[in-house]
């Protein structure tokens, strides 16, 4: 989950909003981590205790509701995947100077090739973990080299000079919005980590994913802050790359391209697989032709990006869209927790229910404010 969230959208969203809010972006991180924990902890706990996937839980509440939820998640996953393809284009642009569209098309065919090769999934998982570690260490070095105003960053994390509801929605959506939070719960269910005997492990897994991604976001925030406060003008087509280039020169810029491309490529396959998993339980044809469906999903994502372009805007859009979807999806899961027919003998803790509904209310209010201020 942490590796999925720390992708091209994560890097771009954090960079763009740090440039806009400067030290006050620390407050956005603080608020978002609280909302992230409330959303993810409830979702993972309720689904693993029910031993059912989200769409099946929704259909138990009201027949047909699971189809609607799946449509929302697939749409959000589609937005994410366009952003992932955009990240691939950015990565190859940094490495070889090809256009964003050319980089996206090349990456699409490589993703399809990797996907159809037997046993590539486990290799990608292991490789992504290695790249995730490199990404965090590299960003830590960049943050140190950028010399950010650390005292002001910490101060404005708790007492911000300005607040952006759009930034909070986008950051929350990019971390636990859409398919990301459900994919983690679904993976636990597939692995048989369900029932009250595994509740402690489920909680630990949910929290550790959020903590890792938050640490990475704060480190990246400091790196960008250092660059911005030193007067660096970020490239609007590749803002995160500009930060790495400022702090580590040409070598840092190229290394950023390598890490970004591999992270984005693995996310393309992961987003496609998880999005299709939300519909494959509805009809045997989706199971029979699962690979074909995922391939079509990846091809359409690439086509949309090539036609639309604007990689930075698409990466921001993906997080925002999934931030809007989150309160509806979370509300359904919380409502399911009150149904004995779904939860059987398990009783969801009251404090977790309250925390979850607070997240729903806060996200709805911020979504309305963001739309009014658009």
The predicted pLDDT at position 226 comes to 92
Residue 193: left (phi > 0), alpha (psi -120 to 50), or beta?
beta
The predicted pLDDT at position 244 comes to 86
**Which string of DSSP letters, residue by residue, matches 104-158?**
HHHHHHHHHHHHHSTTHHHHHHHHHHHHHHHHHHHHHHHHHHH---HHHHHHHHH
Using alpha carbons, select from 269, 262, 264, 224 the residue that is nearest to residue 245: 224
Query: Tokens in use for 108?
Result: 């699409």
**Which string of DSSP letters, residue by residue, matches 39-79?**
HHHHHHHHHHHHTS-HHHHHHHHSTTHHHHHHHHHHHHHHH
Element (H, E) at 247: helix 239-277
Q: Mean pLDDT for each consecutive 10-residue tract of the chain (374 residues)? A: 70 88 94 91 93 90 89 82 87 90 92 73 64 78 89 94 86 75 82 88 88 88 92 83 86 84 80 77 76 88 84 68 82 92 90 92 83 66
Q: Are the CB atoms for 14 and 217 separated by under 8 Å?
A: yes
The predicted pLDDT at position 27 comes to 95
Domains of the chain, with CATH numbers?
2-372 (1.20.1740.10)
List, as own/partner pairs, every contact residues 240-243 make where C-beta atoms lie below 8 angstroms and the sequence separation is at least 24, other chains included. Answer: 240/11, 240/12, 240/14, 240/15, 241/90, 241/94, 242/15, 243/15, 243/142, 243/146
The predicted pLDDT at position 245 comes to 87
Query: Tokens in use for 293?
Result: 């469906």
**Which string of DSSP letters, residue by residue, matches 253-301?**
HHHHHHHHHHHHHHHHHHHHHHHHHTTTTT-HHHHHTHHHHHHHHHHHH
Cα 233 from Cα 242, distance rounded (Å): 8
Q: Locate tokens 């950010």: which residue?
A: 148
Cα 97 from Cα 344, distance rounded (Å): 57
Query: Tokens in use for 241?
Result: 């790359």
Cα 368 from Cα 253, distance rounded (Å): 38
DSSP conformational letter for 196: G
Cα 142 from Cα 244, distance rounded (Å): 6
The predicted pLDDT at position 77 comes to 81
């Amino acid at each position: 989950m942490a590796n999925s969230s720390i992708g091209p959208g994560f890097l771009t969203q954090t960079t763009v909003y740090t440039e806009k809010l400067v030290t006050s972006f620390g407050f956005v991180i603080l608020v978002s981590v609280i909302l992230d924990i409330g959303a993810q902890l409830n979702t993972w706990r309720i689904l693993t205790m029910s031993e059912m996937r989200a769409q099946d839980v929704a259909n138990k509440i009201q027949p047909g509701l699971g189809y609607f939820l799946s449509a929302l998640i697939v749409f959000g996953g589609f937005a994410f995947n366009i952003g992932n393809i955009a990240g691939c284009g950015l990565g190859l642009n940094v490495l070889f100077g090809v256009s964003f569209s050319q980089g996206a098309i090349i990456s699409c065919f490589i993703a399809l090739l990797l996907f159809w090769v037997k046993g590539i999934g486990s290799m990608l998982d292991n490789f992504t973990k290695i790249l995730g570690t490199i990404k965090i260490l590299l960003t830590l070095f960049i943050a140190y080299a950028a010399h950010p105003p650390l005292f002001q960053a910490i101060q404005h994390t708790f007492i911000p000079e300005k607040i952006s509801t759009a930034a909070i929605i986008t950051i929350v959506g990019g971390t636990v919005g859409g398919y990301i939070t459900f994919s983690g719960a679904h993976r636990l269910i597939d692995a048989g980590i369900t029932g009250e005997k595994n509740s402690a492990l489920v909680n630990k897994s949910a929290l550790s994913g959020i903590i890792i991604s938050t640490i990475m976001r704060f480190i990246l925030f400091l790196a960008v802050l250092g660059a911005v406060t030193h007067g660096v003008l970020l490239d609007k087509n590749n803002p995160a790359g500009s930060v790495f280039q400022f702090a580590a020169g040409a070598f840092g810029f190229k290394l950023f391209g390598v890490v970004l491309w591999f992270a984005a490529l693995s996310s393309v396959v992961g987003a496609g697989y998880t999005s299709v998993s939300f519909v494959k339980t509805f009809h045997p044809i989706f199971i029979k032709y699962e690979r074909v469906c995922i391939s079509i999903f990846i091809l359409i994502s690439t086509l949309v990006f090539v036609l639309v372009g604007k990689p930075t805007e698409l990466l921001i859009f993906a997080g925002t869209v999934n931030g809007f979807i989150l309160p509806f999806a979370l509300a359904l899961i919380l409502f399911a927790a009150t149904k004995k027919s779904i939860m059987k003998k398990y009783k969801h803790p009251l404090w977790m229910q309250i925390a979850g509904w607070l997240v729903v209310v806060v996200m709805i209010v911020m979504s309305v404010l963001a739309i009014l201020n658009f």
